[in-house]
Structure 1
């Protein structure tokens, strides 16, 4: 992933392509495609394949646990990050007078469960200032009725990375709220320290280079009793097939309660392989490789006639750089014509830099941008 030879071996589809859209879709290495094929071979065994699926399920949980800094009993898998947050809303059982803090740089999955009319809680919005979330702006929103503070570690919108230790310390000193962190735009790209976080969620089709159809959930045992989802199903129940199964439903505690039905085993195989691949390369090595590329991209964009919306501060940078331009669609089309792939939406262009990118591809991107502008 970090050298030309490993890139050609593991990502053969990159020939001639400069791909900077991992924040939307990661490109899987051949190891993930092989894992999906292995799932197919195991599925051909019928019921006998269930034992092999269970082995991969346990292996995937071990990989997630290592990535999150938890034990395998403190993690589980659901279908996507949106499902995880809807189950979290069930687990919280919010009432009139409760308060939830969201922010305006966040992805809809973590913010919208609390915005429906049926949710009795009051929602407070931690608003970005100059494209950054500042702790001093969060403090007035916290109080004795705050039940949840939820945020992405890295914003999908502009790549801003929150200062998580500062956020956790601030919340713990001021209110009894649970803290939820979405690491979708960080997992597999930057080193993580998720100490004292109550709920950890991630999608699977981006930086860990796996497939769609997965949501990685982490709930430390200290928070399990407060984050147990009372959902119907069977896989997550303690008594799904007991004699009293039609008198009561008893969910397993914590993260296990988020796995409500038959696991999406194709995704589980891909997740296990993707996390193993990223771990074999090393997140520290990926970050060390990408940091100067992000810096190069940011510095060159500052020389161009664009509105940079990624805060230029080393503590708040991860893998995403974004800018605004009134001719964003034209710029996007010009890049795509040169087989350079970025994200474009509503005047915003987003560049995502992962371990399979190199300096030559970044320079090619900047050169094309310069000529187009």
Structure 2
């Protein structure tokens, strides 16, 4: 992933193109494709394949636990990050007078469960200034009634990375709220320190290079009682097949309660392989490789006649940069014609740099971008 030879071996799908859209879709290595094939072979065994599925499930949980800094008993998998947040909303059982804090740089999955008319809580929006979420703007939103503060570690919109340690410290000082952090745009790309977070959520089809159909959930044991989802189903229940199963439903505590129903085993195989691949390369090594590429790209963007909406603050930069331009669609097509893949939406272009990008690909991106702009 970090050298030309490993890139060619592990990512043959990247031959002939420069891919800067990992924040939307990661390109899986051959190890993930091999894992999907293994799932198919195991599935052909019918019920005899269940034991093999269970071993991969257990292995995937170990990988997630390692990535989150938790134990295997404090993590689990659901179908996607959106499902995780909806289950969290069920677990909280919010009442009138409760308050939830979201922010305007966040992805809809973490923000919208609280915005429905059926949710009795009051929602407060932590708004960005100069494209940054500033802690001093969060403090006035916190009160003794705040039940949840939810945010992404790295914004999908412009790549702004919050100071998580500062955020957790401020929330603990000012209110009794649970803290939820979406690490979708960070997991597999930058080192994580998730100390004192109550709920950790991630998608699986981006930086960890797995497939769709997975949501990685982490809930420390200390928060398990307050974050146990009262959902129907069977896989996450203690008494699904007991004699009293038609009299009551008893969910497992914490993260295990988020695994509602039959696991999506194809995704589980891919997640296990993707995380093992990332960890075999090393997140620290990926970050060290990408950091100078991000710096170079950021410096060049600042020289162009574009509106850069990613704050150039070293502690708040991760792997994503974004800018606005009135001719964004034309610029996007000019890049795409040269097999340079970025994201374009509503006048916003987004560049995402991962371990399979290199110096030469950055130089091609900047060269074509200069001419297109």
Could you give the per-residue CA deviations for residues 151-188 of structure 1, whole angstroms, max 9, x where no partner exists? 00000000000000000000000000000000000000
Structure 1 residue 358: Cα displacement: 0.2
Matching of residues 44-193 of structure 1 within 5 Å: 44-193=44-193
Q: 1:63 offset after TM fit, Å?
A: 0.1
Distance between the aligned counterparts of 2:75 and 2:137, measured in 1? 32
Question: In the TM superposition, what whole-angstrom CA distance separates every residue of 1:258-301 from its partner, at most 9, and x where no partner exists?
Answer: 00100000000000000000000000000000000000000000
Q: 1:24-50 deviations in whole A, cap 9, x for unaligned?
A: 000000000000000000000000000
Moved over 3 A (4+): none
Q: Aligned to 1:286, what secondary structure does the other structure show?
A: helix
* SS of equivalent residue, structure 2 residue 351: strand
Gaps of 5+ in 2: none
Could you say which residue in structure 1 is the equivalent of 2:303? 303
Shift of 1:82: 0.1
Secondary structure (helix, strand or coil) at the match of 1:225 reads: coil
TM-score (norm 2): 1.00
Q: Distance in 1 between matches of 2:365 and 2:306?
A: 15
Residue 218 (structure 1) aligns with:
218
CA distance in 1, matches of 2:83, 2:16: 37
CA–CA separation in structure 2 for the residues paired with 1:345 and 1:363: 23
Deviation for aligned residue 1:16: 1.2
Task: Measure, in 1, the Cα distance between the counterparts of 2:142 and 2:363.
Answer: 44
SS of the residue aligned with 1:369? helix
CA distance, structure 2, for counterparts of residue 131 and residue 363 of structure 1: 26
Q: How many residues align?
A: 373
**In the alignment, which residue of structure 2 is the partner of 1:239?**
239
Q: Which residue in 1 is equivalent to 2:316? A: 316
Deviation at 1:15, TM superposition (A): 1.1
CA apart distance, 1:103: 0.1
Aligned to 1:48, what secondary structure does the other structure show? helix
Aligned to 1:285: 285
Which sections of structure 1, spanning at least 5 residues, go unmatched? none
Distance 1:138 1:173 in 2: 12
Other structure's SS at 1:40 match: helix
The whole-number CA distance in structure 2 between the counterparts of 1:164 and 1:353 is 22
Q: What TM-score do the two structures reach when normalised by structure 1?
A: 1.00
Q: Distance in 2 between matches of 1:305 and 1:246?
A: 65
- SS of the aligned residue for 1:226 comes to coil
- Who is 1:328 aligned against? 328
Distance in 2, matches of 1:131 and 1:179, equals 22
How much is the aligned-residue C-alpha RMSD, in angstroms?
Answer: 0.3
Shift of 1:348: 0.2
